[in-house]
Structure formats: structure tokens, C-alpha cells
């Protein structure tokens, strides 16, 4: 048998396209869901160190088994392809190892899968893993802390938090309004061996005052709130840490949601990311730490001056780190910065220093292709960026200011 190849993101993109070409011939079926079944099956087999499946009947039996152990991942327990299509796709995917070079390759695969399916049109762009890693290193995760990402995507922020703190899955909370993203985030945790996480499909911006009106008007299929989930799962306290990259695009125009936020009360519309800032701070414990990726208009636009004043009253601004424009290519060229803050436990002081840093190496070219330091290793750990230098200086600042992170 020919040796299998380890799978980089570039390799997986070619695999996905080949699978897509085969499955598109099957009229009427959702090729994304069929490919997702193949990927899930392959990850299961590698994760359990079991032999590759040979027939479609064996595969359908395995999907039933997977759905029992890895719950809420697959929408159905069988392949909707012909035997011939299954055999061709199975041969394609079995020629590669997804987990052969460690977990990070799988991470990139999941990001590609969701981006390919639906994310680009919603302003929901995934955060490069070296930026995720930087945010968590600044936040300095501690074992036993509860972490939340209310716009979780594939779950990378909370997973990297867990990897740095070695905390149990019960301390990890992640919400996203997109059902595919939620399924992928759950799968990511299973593959990483992190069980007991709290990952749910929720509109994180919906709060109980708005919910009551929605229920009263009969629209109850989307009325679950974060507070409802916390109550159901018996979590009484707020969160020690929030790390997130909320959607950059879209406006909120629903009056009930607007009126449930201080920053938008009385307005007819507001950018979605602005509400996420207030929502995250509400969910943070006094003394809690937060890292949030935001478009630069949040920091400089006169339209958002009232938001900045509200944040300053409720939080100590620790740092603002500018990120190069190419960092989120090919999805968007929006210029972003990372805001690090701590929720106040006492009134603000007259003078508080803030760390400002500017990254000048995006780690990507203008087309969104990763730039590596050398050709030895194609992984996010070898991407050519300068965030490590900023991290070193920022940690010195936090120590000098006795911030206590």
C-alpha cells in the first residue's frame, strides 16, 4: 500500500476540491454535508487508531457509531452517494493523514471547511491561529478559570485557552449563531480529546428583555439566550476570561435588541460588533480579563465615542495592538486591532497607562497566503509575524504596571 501523506491546509484544499468534483455529479445532494461525513469519519478512524473503512456499508455502520459517541456533529447516519462515488472519494481521503503532524493541521482544515461553506458572506472571518495564540498568551490562562467565546466559529480561541492552561472541558464555553460552526467546534474538541465542553447555537446578542417580546409574538425557535443556557447548565457566576473575534459586518435593527443595550438604546440601528463589545463586558466578572478583535473604526470613529466612554468607565484598558490589513485576507481587508481590558472592581483612577503596539508583519500576502519564516515547516507556528516581540514588551508592561494578569 502506498504511503499516506500528511495533510497541510494547502493539500486539504486540493483534496476538498477533488471530493467536490466527484460529488457534484450526484444531483440533488448537499456536497458539503457528504464531504463533512468523509472528513468526520477519517478523523474518527485516526483518533481511534482504527483501520480505514473499505465499503459504504461499513461506513454507514461507523456513522451510526460516531453519532452515538460524538453527539450533535452529523445531521444523519448514512452517506447519500452512489457506491461508485463512495469508492472514489474514500480512496482520495484515505491517501492522506489528517492528524499525522499534530493537531494544528486539523485546526486549519476545519477553518477551511466552514469558510468554504458559508462564512464569507456574513462578515464572520476566522482569526489566524498565530493571532489566537497571541491573544491567549497575553490573557495568560489559568487552570480552573471559566472562559467564553460568544462568537466562537470553529472554537479555536477556547481550545487554545485549554491547551495553554490544561483546564477541563467543563470550563470552556462557546456560542455561535451558525449551526455548521457549532458542529465543527464540537468536532474539533472531540478530536483534541477535550470532553465536557459547553458549545451551543445561540444568538449571543439576544438578551432576556428582548426574548420576552419574541416569545410573546410567537417567534420562539430563536429565542434562547446565553442566560438561558447558563441557567439550564447551572452556571451561576460570570466568566473569568472572554477571548473573541465577533463578526465585522452587519447592522442590528431589531428595536427590542437595541433597547436592551445601553449603547444603542433609542437608536434605530447599530453595527453588530459594537453591541458585542457591551455584551462581552456584561458577561465578564469584575476583575475578569478580555481580548477582543475589532475593526479600527471602533477605536477612532466619532460615531463610537460614546461606546469608548462607556468601556472606559467600566473597564481598565490594558492594551491596544494594531494588526496589519492582510491578516484576514482573503476574506476581508478590514483593518483591525486587538483590545485587551480588565473589568473594573473599583472606580477608575485619574491616570492609567495604556500599552500601544503595532504589528508590521501580517503573516500573509495580499492574497491571503501564509508567509513562512523558512521552508522547513508549513504550520502557523512558523508563520512570519512579529507578535512574539510585541508579546514580550506587553508582558513587561503588565508587570511594571502591577496589573496582576
Q: What is the pLDDT along the chain (405 residues), one digit of tens a residue?
A: 344 555 555 667 788 888 888 887 665 567 889 999 999 999 999 999 999 999 999 999 999 999 999 999 999 999 999 999 999 999 999 988 887 655 556 766 776 777 666 544 444 557 888 999 999 999 999 999 999 999 998 899 999 999 999 999 999 999 999 898 899 999 999 999 999 999 999 999 999 755 555 444 443 446 789 999 999 999 999 999 999 999 887 899 999 999 999 999 999 999 999 999 999 999 999 999 999 999 998 998 888 999 999 999 999 999 999 999 999 888 788 899 999 999 999 888 778 999 999 999 999 999 888 899 998 877 788 899 999 999 999 999 999 999 989
Q: How many CA atoms lie within 13 A of 90 on its CB side?
A: 20
Euclidean distance between CA atoms 128 and 380, whole angstroms: 8
Whether pTM > 0.75 for this model: the answer is yes
pLDDT attached to residue 220 = 43
Residue 28 makes CB contacts below 8 A (sequence gap 6+) with: none
Q: Which three cell numbers stand for residue 98?
A: 489528517
Hey, which residues does 278 pair with through a beta bridge?
none
Hey, which residues does 23 pair with through a beta bridge?
none
Please tell me what DSSP assigns to residue 262.
Answer: T
CB neighbours (10 Å) of residue 391?
17
Which residue matches cell numbers 473604526? 297
pLDDT attached to residue 139 = 97
Give the domain ranges of the chain.
Answer: 5-101, 122-400
pLDDT attached to residue 221 = 45
Query: What is 122-400's CATH number?
Result: 3.40.50.150
Alpha helices in 24-171 (DSSP H): 31-47, 56-69, 83-94, 103-117, 129-139, 156-165
Amino acid at each position: 500500500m502506498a504511503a499516506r501523506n500528511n495533510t497541510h491546509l494547502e493539500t486539504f484544499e486540493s483534496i476538498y476540491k477533488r471530493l467536490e468534483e466527484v460529488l457534484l455529479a450526484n444531483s440533488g445532494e448537499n456536497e458539503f454535508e457528504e464531504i463533512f461525513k468523509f472528513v468526520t469519519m477519517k478523523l474518527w478512524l485516526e483518533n481511534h487508531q482504527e483501520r480505514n473503512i473499505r465499503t459504504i456499508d461499513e461506513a454507514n455502520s461507523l456513522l451510526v457509531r460516531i453519532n452515538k459517541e460524538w453527539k450533535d456533529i452529523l445531521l444523519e447516519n448514512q452517506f447519500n452517494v452512489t457506491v461508485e462515488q463512495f469508492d472514489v472519494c474514500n480512496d482520495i481521503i484515505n491517501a492522506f493523514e489528517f492528524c499525522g503532524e499534530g493537531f494544528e493541521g486539523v485546526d486549519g482544515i476545519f477553518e477551511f471547511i466552514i469558510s468554504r461553506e458559508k462564512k464569507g458572506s456574513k462578515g464572520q472571518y476566522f482569526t489566524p491561529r498565530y493571532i489566537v495564540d497571541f491573544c491567549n498568551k497575553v490573557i495568560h490562562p489559568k487552570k480552573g478559570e471559566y472562559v467564553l467565546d460568544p462568537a466562537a466559529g470553529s472554537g479555536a480561541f477556547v481550545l487554545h485557552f485549554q491547551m495553554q492552561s490544561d483546564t477541563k472541558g467543563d470550563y470552556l464555553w462557546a456560542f455561535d449563531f451558525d449551526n455548521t460552526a457549532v458542529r465543527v467546534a464540537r468536532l474539533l474538541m472531540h478530536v483534541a480529546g477535550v470532553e465536557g465542553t459547553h458549545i451551543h447555537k445561540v444568538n449571543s446578542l439576544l438578551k432576556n428583555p428582548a426574548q420576552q417580546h419574541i416569545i410573546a409574538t410567537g417567534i420562539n425557535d430563536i429565542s434562547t439566550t446565553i442566560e438561558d443556557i447558563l441557567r439550564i447548565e447551572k452556571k451561576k457566576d460570570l466568566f473569568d476570561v472572554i477571548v473573541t473575534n465577533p463578526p465585522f459586518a452587519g447592522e442590528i435593527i431589531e428595536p427590542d435588541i437595541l433597547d436592551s443595550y445601553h449603547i444603542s438604546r433609542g437608536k434605530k440601528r447599530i453595527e453588530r460588533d459594537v453591541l458585542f463589545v457591551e455584551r462581552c463586558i456584561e458577561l465578564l466578572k469584575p476583575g475578569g480579563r478580555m481580548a477582543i478583535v475589532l475593526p479600527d473604526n471602533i477605536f477612532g470613529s466619532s460615531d463610537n465615542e460614546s461606546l469608548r466612554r462607556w468601556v472606559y468607565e467600566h473597564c481598565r484598558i490594558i492594551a491596544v495592538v494594531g494588526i496589519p490589513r492582510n491578516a484576514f485576507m482573503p476574506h476581508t481587508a478590514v483593518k483591525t486591532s486587538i483590545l485587551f481590558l480588565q473589568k473594573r472592581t473599583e472606580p477608575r483612577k485619574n491616570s492609567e497607562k495604556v500599552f500601544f503596539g503595532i504589528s508590521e508583519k501580517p503573516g500573509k500576502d495580499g492574497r491571503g497566503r501564509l508567509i513562512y519564516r523558512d521552508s522547513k515547516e508549513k504550520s502557523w507556528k512558523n508563520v512570519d509575524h512579529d507578535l512574539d516581540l510585541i508579546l514580550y514588551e506587553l508582558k513587561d508592561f503588565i508587570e511594571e504596571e502591577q496589573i496582576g494578569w
